[in-house]
Amino acid sequence: MKKPQRDDKLLPLCNSCAESAAARRREIADASPISYVTGTIGALLGALIGSAVWIGIGAAGFYASIGGVAIAYAAFFGYRTLGGKSSKVSVLIIAVSVLAAVIFAELFGVGLELARYAKSEGIQVPIPKLAEVVFELVREGDVSEIYMNMGIGILFAGLGAYGILKKIFFGAEQGNVSIRKV
């Protein structure tokens, strides 16, 4: 047994509480790799749901970091709801989910703008054709404005997600706390 270090946090616990805490830590440590899979699904679904805030703000013609915060919180909530394990890997999973949702939301916003323009010109564009046009525009058109908007979006989402990801990351680092009787 390692001797307590100066920076260690010591909490006085009764025997049953110490055993309960140790059992819970073992349970978390032994979590199945499946928890990463279900957590990833939850993070992606949550981020896509959170992107509705982003899309709504964008449809109104504004940018607001609250859209990025909504995506980040929804991704985190989805990850935890579907049983995602808190670790340093979860930070990466949530960050990638947030990034994917920002890209989705921005492309969706471009599609909305194109649909509004087409409607103002009296043209009815089916959704599959609209999606095709958006991807064609991104692939071959002058997309500097789209990329700039995505960059701003990623910045806002990053600022919104920073606190959550930092909390998870440093919380995962504190996972090395040992429980022992003194």
49-65: pLDDT as tens digits: 999 988 888 888 777 67
* Terminal CA-CA length for the chain: 11
Phi first, then psi, for residue 123 (nearest 5°) are: -105, 130
pTM above 0.85, yes or no: no
Query: In the prediction, which pLDDT does 100 show?
Result: 93
Q: Once rounded to an integer, what is the mean pLDDT over residues 116-120?
A: 88
Q: 12 — alpha (psi -120 to 50), left (phi > 0) or beta?
A: beta
74-107: pLDDT as tens digits: 998 999 888 887 777 888 898 899 999 988 888 8
